[in-house]
Structure 1
């Protein structure tokens, strides 16, 4: 449903412009990439490191950003691009190369991986120019401002989205950014942070989203429900009409965000979506949580939120607000550890930390801003800290498996000389699916037991593997053995999927042998690591 922007949103723009001008004068001198600080769902599925370990280059134009991408050795060669100045249509042209696929009207991250874009110096502003991520993985965007991106009027960029992701995107961390518009659809703007057509494992943290008709969506229609595992924490949503976010299908974890002046609706969970909503602060807003503008219900689990001067609509055919008596109607298991700030301090700690040019400060779990290098401290008892555990086998809609920590190092299964084979494969599955980096594809044996192997043309030292089950099959794998596939020696025995460690072994083949299962096992990824 297309909805006009409210008068209240437009009336706030003059004040916002004055505040922004002051903010420029107070910008921090320089920031450096803090890849070790990744949080939320972006820590899963192998983790998000961006361009860590790659070359660092500087760019002050969009063309220079594209050139840095296009002159890499390959589409996956790690790179950190430090950006300063104003990036706009006048200095952003298409650049061609074997390691890129760019366009003139947008910062295009298409068909690539292992990239960090970080603002440095006096700040990096993408003015009327959006950032588009498509068919890509392992991306970090940090310490930048993206403003006034239009889908109608002039100039046009990125379909009107400040940051947009679509079509098989995995592991993106967007952190300490400002996403801004100057109105709603009638003024030519669309979403500030949109995801559609198979986007998974994304975290938006310590960022500001302001002065827009639409904060962002997860899923472009009621049938686009394959987008999932998105975390939003310590963000400021201010003067937004709706979609903070709109969630169609999938899982979202929404905690410690500050919401001010949500004019029409807020977190809109629909089409079977499930949102875990913890310790947020909602102020001077309307219908901040529920299912809106559709009869296709969504669900939520709530705890510790504060509703300050929030009004609620009456339920109707296409309106199902969660309040005024806000209660949970589902449960959502979170596979990673996190610490909650008390909701009462969220407005102050978010104001001190969220956005670009704040020195990449974060909360220490006790409502106190600290620099990233300071690390977390023990949370205050009042903050209701939560350290989640792995979901039970019944929580089939949560990603699987759930290793106790994200793997570090290089996944040897993705090496150029890596291959895969096995004892048998069920119809429609493939051995190679366990090493394609895609959790939506998998291998199954023809029965309930069988072997799956990763192999190389030359020997590798392996001491750790990660077995990731496909969605809907969590907990199916029972007992197993890990074998040195070259000699048949048993390296480890146990039960259940996840992270498995053993004595470092030099071999050309590692085999995961499933000896029992409660249902047809589905192995989505078989990751191998040296340590």
Structure 2
């Protein structure tokens, strides 16, 4: 048991080892993701809250995202991962741990629960790297762009899906994302948003899907009928050949979406699927609703849709378009509340609100955009402010590795560092007279070969333990007047590198 805990602590501190390298840092000053309210079928089956109530971390690499997942106490410990910058193959590696199951070639949300992945700041771009959700539940993916994910050619990722879910997935909300490719299957791309093998209670909202051969599917084959309860609303589907979406079995609610230049076929309900299609706007497209490429019929309930310059093929063989005058052939009861925008204003409201980096705006149900109230949990400790009391102070420690110095932790230089002679040891900041301290910040150096696990902060004057925990970063404790404060590393993976040991009065 002790070994397992130590492994998890080491994984937790992998986050902080990446901090100085631009990977990830913890305890952001405020929760900057205004997630608003989850909508659609993701509200059912107990609802979807993602990482609400958990720790908030910031990641700027794919490895850091994986490290954040692997740092948790368990695979279900809530966490909000704020992502900023470009995530690609070059900065995404597998991270191991008891609370995760990750891979090199994709962002892997596998065998986990209670996670929010949200783009912040200047935006989050997953470049040629897909997001894979597998055997997972209660997941939120918000405000990110995923582009040019390939299943053939180079580099490949996630089977060619921008976002793919499969194998016993429950309660996922994907919101304000942009998913795009640069061609179809012949160019190496697959689906933008695919759900397979027992995936249920999913909402895709206020998102852009464009420039692809395939928009997405529910069910990988005519025998994969275990999926369903999917909501698609206020999305823009643009310049796509087909599958917007393809539905095999199950129930889908498709409302207030804007479809532009759908070239071959649109909402493809087949193999017993039942779709409720309300107040959508279809423009400059072909065969936007029906059962296509199969004799296994699907069904639809339609109302309030607008068809602007839509052409329809004749019914023949395996192609059965619903138009030119679509009529309902089933009835679908919706168990949640929702507001419908008029179809005529859908293109405008979707253009204003859908996609990443749009301020997470939503429609008010009357064709006007609004910014939802934040629903994130209270943030953790804020980064320290004021003067770093370590500058100009003294320092010593229990041991130092060759080529490192105690003074390197108080020189303001992230390129120099102290390491113990081994994986454990202590480092102290000291003053000539009593100094009040209530907060420290342990910053690990870029490229650290080891990461800090468990630690204690000690009032060296009295020997009293001020606080204990695991992981580098900001550490708070009651205000204490002392002449020397010691940070003692109890466990670590490899030899840690402490670049800065900052101390603050408040």
What TM bracket, shorter-length normalisation? 0.5 to 0.7
TM-score (ref. length: structure 2): 0.68
Contact 2:149 2:160 in 1 (8 A): yes
Contact 1:35 1:49 in 2 (8 A): no
TM-score (ref. length: structure 1): 0.64
- Cα deviation, 1:81-113, whole Å, max 9, x if unaligned, reads 000000000000000000000000000000000
> What is the CA-CA distance between 1:33 and the residue it aligns to?
2.9
| Secondary structure of 1:211 counterpart | strand
- Cα deviation, 1:249-283, whole Å, max 9, x if unaligned, reads 00000000000000000000000000000000000
> What is the CA-CA distance between 1:373 and the residue it aligns to?
1.9
RMSD: 1.2
The match for 2:233 is 233
Q: Does 1:141 align with 2:141?
A: yes
Contact 2:72 2:99 in 1 (8 A): yes
Contact 1:31 1:120 in 2 (8 A): no
User: Judging changes above 3 Å, is the alpha-carbon distance between structure 1 residues 371 and 31 closer, same or farther for their aligned structure 2 residues?
Assistant: farther
| Secondary structure of 2:173 counterpart | strand
* Partner Cα separation in structure 1 for residue 35 and residue 49 of structure 2: 6
> What is the CA-CA distance between 1:49 and the residue it aligns to?
0.2
The match for 1:174 is 174
Q: What stretches of structure 1 of length at least 5 have no aligned partner?
A: 1-29, 376-531
User: Judging changes above 3 Å, is the alpha-carbon distance between structure 1 residues 374 and 198 closer, same or farther for their aligned structure 2 residues?
Assistant: closer
* Partner Cα separation in structure 2 for residue 305 and residue 31 of structure 1: 38
The match for 1:361 is 361
| Secondary structure of 2:247 counterpart | strand
| Secondary structure of 1:241 counterpart | strand
Q: What stretches of structure 2 of length at least 5 have no aligned partner?
A: 1-29, 376-506
Q: Which has the bigger relative contact order, CA under 8 A and spacing at least 6?
A: 2
* Partner Cα separation in structure 1 for residue 201 and residue 252 of structure 2: 10
User: Judging changes above 3 Å, is the alpha-carbon distance between structure 1 residues 31 and 77 closer, same or farther for their aligned structure 2 residues?
Assistant: closer
The match for 1:264 is 264
The match for 1:249 is 249
> What is the CA-CA distance between 1:374 and the residue it aligns to?
9.3
| Secondary structure of 2:159 counterpart | helix
Number of residue-to-residue matches in the alignment: 346
Structure with max Cα Rg: 2
* Partner Cα separation in structure 2 for residue 199 and residue 354 of structure 1: 24
> What is the 5 A alignment of 1:381-396?
none
| Secondary structure of 1:186 counterpart | helix
* Partner Cα separation in structure 1 for residue 310 and residue 266 of structure 2: 11
User: Judging changes above 3 Å, is the alpha-carbon distance between structure 1 residues 57 and 219 closer, same or farther for their aligned structure 2 residues?
Assistant: same
Structure 1 runs (4+) deviating above 2 angstroms are: 30-36
* Partner Cα separation in structure 2 for residue 111 and residue 351 of structure 1: 35
User: Judging changes above 3 Å, is the alpha-carbon distance between structure 1 residues 224 and 97 closer, same or farther for their aligned structure 2 residues?
Assistant: same
Q: Does 1:72 align with 2:72?
A: yes
* Partner Cα separation in structure 1 for residue 137 and residue 161 of structure 2: 19
The match for 1:303 is 303
The match for 1:53 is 53
> What is the 5 A alignment of 1:302-451?
302-373=302-373
The match for 1:163 is 163
